[in-house]
Amino acid sequence: MSAPSVRADLRPDRVAVLTIDQPGAKVNVLTEQLWADLEAAVDGLAAVTDLAGVVVASGKPGVFVAGADLKLLGDAPGPNDPAVRAFIDQGLRVLGKLDRLPVPTCAAIDGVALGGGLEVALACDYRVVGSHPKVQLGLPEVKLGLIPGWGGTQRLPRLIGLPPAVEFLTSGDPVGGPQAFERELADAAADSAGLLDAAAKLVLDHPDWADRRAAKHGPLPLDAHPTAKMPPATAPAAVREAYRVAIDGAKQSLAAAVRVETAAFLTLAGSAESKRLIAEFFAARKKV
């Protein structure tokens, strides 16, 4: 039996650090096993009575979490595949537990946080980015014929506002650490050497975390935002769905909005377009 890919350590300040470090891998990828390990770690923390906060970090230099297990998605025989649904439901369940921990949470990002990796960070109350040159935050799913499937289309608009979130979702382009801080994707920036301390300080110094979390579970106050730009009718299906799901979900509670996201994701995963783009992605990696 291999070692678990998530380790929990309790600091003297009673902040727990969950370190994601997939054994034998250069990067962390959200597989069914990693989700299971993360769930076990979160369940363990939920039972700690004197916990002050939780920091989610990575043991891989230059990588937080690189994304989802694309092989599982690329092998889907068609839309609405039961195995894909189970995979999405698993991730949503784990992030739901992370989101419901009775203490503030912070993602300490010192490398690549793309796709599902950023969705893990978005499920935390706070985010701090380190100074590693490989820091990148992005939701590139539309470039693979998909949309985010673990709440990203809904948590992002509630964090940075609907128009900038729609632009982020429909372009699929990542941003570096300084840009992430400027665009309010991250709450703080810190030198890599002091990243965990900065993350712990965020959770310890913000007594309003519960109010902030509760606000993100409601609908987005659309009257406070200008209209988000609609993609053209000629845009790829994933781009149009990313826009539609973000707009439709913003009017609902987070729980209802995520169900809208899941239904759309399952129609795209296993589609001919997504399978082609994922195959091209793997082929391009082999050439490097």
Pair 138, 87: CB distance under 8 Å: no
Contacts of 15 (CB under 8 A, 6+ apart): 51, 52, 53, 54, 55, 200, 203, 204
Residue 116 bears catalytic tag: yes
| Helical (H) or strand (E) element with 30 | strand 29-30
| Active-site residue flag, 141 | yes
Give Dmax (Cα) for the chain.
56
Catalytic residue among 53, 67, 116, 249: 116
Give Rg (Cα) of the chain: 18
Q: Indicate which residue of 76, 117, 130, 141 is catalytic.
A: 141
What is the DSSP secondary-structure string of 63-110? EEE-EE-HHHHHT--STT-HHHHHHHHHHHHHHHHHHT-SS-EEEEE-
Q: Please confirm, yes or no, whether 74 is among the known catalytic residues.
A: no
Question: Looking at the DSSP assignment, which residues form a beta bridge with residue 15?
Answer: 53
Active site residue 78: no
The residue from 119, 152, 199, 246 that is catalytic is: 119
Catalytic choice (68, 123, 189, 190): 68
Q: Which residues are catalytic?
A: 68, 116, 119, 141
